[in-house]
Structure 1
């Protein structure tokens, strides 16, 4: 009983202040103050069941504290009037409840006399979910009906086709990794239609362009997102993997101004959520703003921008230290892998919209597309899927002279590269060794984006430096070259071409 009361006091921010509130004092507190925020106590209760039987050990939360259902599937949670939802972390072995692909794992709290009852019905999967796949859609970012049509007629069908290319019954889910729209809330309907077309259930992450920019604080900026998609931070399970979604976009009360930051409320919740996960397990965390990128280093800047990375990421890293962790992010419109110690990999994704629907690529030459992850047990394999192109398309080779600063070299952009890859080249069939990796501008991005007059749709788009470009210098007599990239999983991707036939496209 004491523990429950302390959890409740902690949710009010009163624990540790030397205050003791008796039950009578709590009952005497006004339910709806004339001014200020309502902190009235609320008891949340209910049952999680499947086929009429209670499901034990399911994590249920109000966004402050986490409790587990008992042997009969029942739970009780002391909350307060600032909580918006009661929701669960879907356990492994169960379907993701959804409406036309938009997952629904929550109930909005509507308390009466200080209580709210919420029951949840789970549908058991008909197959083992130890093996499953998921995709990450970063930044669909539609600002017009024209963009929305691209999303619905190209991106969504591409994903549907990809899913169909796997054996029948393969389990898939998606993660919309923020900036689902571009400040135009009326286009959320188009985004949801695209999810419906894709044919798989999607979980959503809030991005900086999904916020209410007229709010006076960060708390108010999430209202529209919550209305459509529920909580901004939550977790779920599939197979042996625990998935977490976080809101790391902190709105500072001025239109379009934000920082990458995780609030204390989220971190305290995350600490409890991860306490339900066995150390050593695989945890996948999705957020919009990357925890970290090396963009500032490429640009020779002293430190990253406040809106470009998560300022208090060290605490996130600390909480993830006991696990094998993958962080999924977007926001940047370029593709990058970031490693934090031996157990954390961050996947900064190229975007569904590319460079804001201006053409086929992102800032760094990565094709418009999305990440695909194949899970078996606790292990993940991954690749980047370019929209409208085969999944084997993992590099682009440019002709000699395409890179102005290295005019005697040919270049290759290998967008999903990380240090475990091996990149080699052959001249007229003869192995020539590994290629030289450099930091430079992608030649196609220069062609499409560099300069004040292009691209015509959004003239402010410019190329960004990337460190996944590779160079080789053919001999004067060379006729054909091959670039061969072997990823960390042993998959080989090869492009062979006559030198005279290479072009920017």
Structure 2
């Protein structure tokens, strides 16, 4: 394995980089008491992997690794299964160090300050067997995207506080657009996320860039100062997670960014992937979806190159954000995937929904429904042995949404032509979903999947249109075609009065979901 790593490292072709003379490596040890010091009785850890985002280094029998830090890169330990890493003062996992001995570009939000040599010792804290859950559970946020301290307050009240003391996750992920261009908000946002008391990993998005940087190489310096490497890996007993920046900044061009990967990221993957056990679930987290190639939003050649590296992995899940909608995509030969099974990409809905927009509720929090009718919120990922997993979507504040949003007319004329229907937005649905409805406990009938906007959001658009004054800071988004909407025609030949509508949908991970509403039949004369 070491020979393979060395060969691939030698193949890395890059512009000449200046090695830092400050250090030559460090040591990794088992920090049994978690105090950050190598105490008597604690032992070095052999076989631990570290990387600078290109090469991979492995500790020897004394727990030591050796390398020459390269100015501007970030060294990180690849957390092994069975261990935790300590947390920094701001609550972020402490698993990296930057190599910055000379000043970088002057940036509005500061970039990475000088004074770090690029190598250090790492103490890993062993898991306590009694505290381990049989299944790994992760909270997944996409696009928290706060543009002000007011939005940070919404994030606190809408997303974070309802989860405190109630979730059972051991890991957290944010899939980019942590903030909305104002990078000074990172500390305030981190302070809230840290209250969830789990290791939290961050991937950059297009709104996390230093837009005054002169190149893509320098466009994530401020992000990296706060969150660490923009390419990294993290290992658990049942999962290997790889985080990848997939936003290529193009200063002075239109568009200003494009979805894709850098050469150094491919070098890291080529070096690291051969070390990853194939029986585990391999999860890749990115910001820009890989299925989205319209208008140059993601480079198809980069996607196919990545898929070539992943082809022999039997259990792969891809997580993305960016769209402020939600859908499932199954990659096959049409998009360059040639694995035995289709590759599942889950495009996660946004924590901020539609950018914290819409009319405020009684608690003063914006509605934030996304353009496809999905309520803002977060996802859960549960991982079982053998590469299995389960996904679920949870509306913010755990509103009593059963995974299905319903819309039906309040009143219809008895005997009218049955041209009106009930609509079911099954938030985690896809083309394979079975969705049925019945009226007054009658027979179940299949609903038809339709490609149109969610009428619940269309009604909100109309309320905004007809209002004499603004109903919120920003209007709800204009409704667009939902990828998970079903329709069933409502009968009008029933008795006058109220009739109950029930909808059920088969969720592949949560089982049968149910929702109900009603409509009224009235008599009318011409």
TM-score by length of 1: 0.83
Tell me by how many angstroms 1:222 deviates. Answer: 0.5
Tell me by how many angstroms 1:159 deviates. Answer: 2.6
Alignment counterpart, residue 45 of structure 1, candidates 5, 22, 25: 25
Q: Superposition RMSD on alpha carbons, in Å?
A: 2.9
Of 224-233 and 381-390, more deviation after overlay is shown by: 381-390
CA distance in 1, matches of 2:509, 2:215: 45
Residue 104 of structure 2 corresponds to residue 92 of structure 1: no
Residue of structure 2 in register with 1:33 after alignment: none
CA distance in 1, matches of 2:356, 2:125: 38
Alignment counterpart, residue 424 of structure 2, candidates 412, 419, 424: 412
Of 150-159 and 131-140, more deviation after overlay is shown by: 150-159
Change (3 A) 1:492 1:7: closer
CA contact (8 A) 1:385 1:391 kept: no
CA contact (8 A) 1:363 1:462 kept: yes
Residue pairs, 1:101-500, within 5 angstroms: 101-109=91-99, 117-127=119-129, 128=132, 131-163=135-167, 166=168, 171-254=169-252, 257-293=256-292, 304-307=294-297, 312-323=302-313, 324-341=315-332, 342-358=341-357, 359-377=367-385, 378-390=387-399, 393-400=402-409, 407-449=419-461, 457-458=473-474, 461-478=477-494, 479-489=499-509, 491-500=511-520
CA contact (8 A) 1:241 1:281 kept: yes
Aligned to 2:430, what secondary structure does the other structure show? Answer: coil
CA contact (8 A) 1:129 1:239 kept: no
CA distance in 2, matches of 1:200, 1:442: 35
CA distance in 2, matches of 1:394, 1:459: 24
Instruction: For structure 2, list consecutive stretches of 5 or more residues without a partner in the other structure.
Output: 32-41, 103-116, 333-340, 358-366, 412-417, 522-526
Tell me by how many angstroms 1:254 deviates. Answer: 3.0
**In the TM superposition, what whole-angstrom CA distance separates every residue of 1:68-92 from its partner, at most 9, and x where no partner exists?**
22233222235533x4221111001
CA distance in 2, matches of 1:368, 1:197: 20
TM-score by length of 2: 0.80
- Give aligned pairs, total: 459
Aligned to 2:126, what secondary structure does the other structure show? Answer: coil
CA contact (8 A) 2:408 2:517 kept: no
Change (3 A) 1:308 1:353: farther
Residue of structure 2 in register with 1:22 after alignment: none
Residue of structure 2 in register with 1:297 after alignment: none
CA distance in 2, matches of 1:4, 1:373: 32
Change (3 A) 1:318 1:220: same
CA contact (8 A) 1:249 1:261 kept: yes
CA distance in 2, matches of 1:418, 1:257: 32
Instruction: For structure 1, list consecutive stretches of 5 or more residues without a partner in the other structure.
Output: 15-36, 294-302
Residue of structure 2 in register with 1:57 after alignment: 47
**In the TM superposition, what whole-angstrom CA distance separates every residue of 1:237-277 from its partner, at most 9, and x where no partner exists?**
11221000000011101387110011111011112121111
Aligned to 1:98, what secondary structure does the other structure show? Answer: coil
CA distance in 2, matches of 1:135, 1:84: 29
CA contact (8 A) 2:328 2:430 kept: yes
